[in-house]
Structures are given as structure tokens and as C-alpha cells.
């Protein structure tokens, strides 16, 4: 491989790695949960208003506080 072709390949690999890390952290933190919830409501309960994102997170946190399950804290 020529030295000239190594830099673009390295940048491409770094870009992919960065996108993978971003996807993993946002998935881990739940950034996509509301979008998945809206898709579920539209698919399973058509015509039902899924509510706002703020309402979703309030209800989700209230449920977790009421039923902590196997959390450490």
C-alpha cells in the first residue's frame, strides 16, 4: 500500500470507530428509547397519541423508582 493511500484509510477507520462509539454510548444511555417507544405506539396502537418526550421520561423514571428491580442504587 502506498503511503499516500494510508492516511485516507486511517481516517475512514477512525470515523467508523467514532460513529460506533457514539452509537454505543447513546444506546447505552437511552437516547433512542423515546423514538422506539413512538414507533411501538404507532405500530401496535395506531391513532393513539404517544405523548411528549418529557411525559415519557417522567413516566419511565417514576416506574423505575416504584419498581427498582436489580439495581444497585
pLDDT digits (tens, 9 = 90+) for 11-27: 899 999 999 999 899 88
> What residues contact 32, with CB distance under 8 A and at least 6 apart?
26
Tell me, yes or no, whether 38 and 56 share the same domain: yes
Tell me, yes or no, whether 22 and 37 share the same domain: no
In the chain, how many domains are there? 2
Tell me, yes or no, whether 50 and 15 share the same domain: no
Task: Give the model's pLDDT for residue 5.
Answer: 72
Tell me, yes or no, whether 58 and 43 share the same domain: yes
Tell me, yes or no, whether 23 and 38 share the same domain: no
Report how far residue 15's alpha carbon sits from residue 17's, in angstroms, rounded to the nearest whole number: 5
Look up the domain containing 12 and give its range: 1-29
More confident call, 29 vs 13: 13
Report how far residue 27's alpha carbon sits from residue 42's, in angstroms, rounded to the nearest whole number: 21
Tell me, yes or no, whether 38 and 67 share the same domain: yes
Report how far residue 33's alpha carbon sits from residue 26's, in angstroms, rounded to the nearest whole number: 10
Tell me, yes or no, whether 16 and 36 share the same domain: no
Is the predicted pLDDT of residue 42 greater than 80, yes or no? yes
Q: What percentage of the chain reaches a pLDDT higher than 90?
A: 59
Question: pTM for this structure?
Answer: 0.62
Task: Give the model's pLDDT for residue 64.
Answer: 86
Amino acid at each position: 500500500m502506498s503511503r499516500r493511500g494510508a492516511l485516507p484509510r486511517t481516517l475512514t477507520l477512525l470515523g467508523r470507530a467514532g460513529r460506533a462509539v457514539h452509537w454505543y454510548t447513546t444506546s447505552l444511555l437511552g437516547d433512542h428509547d423515546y423514538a422506539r417507544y413512538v414507533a411501538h405506539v404507532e405500530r401496535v396502537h395506531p391513532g393513539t397519541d404517544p405523548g411528549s418526550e418529557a411525559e415519557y421520561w417522567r413516566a419511565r423514571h417514576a416506574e423505575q423508582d416504584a419498581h427498582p428491580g436489580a439495581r444497585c442504587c
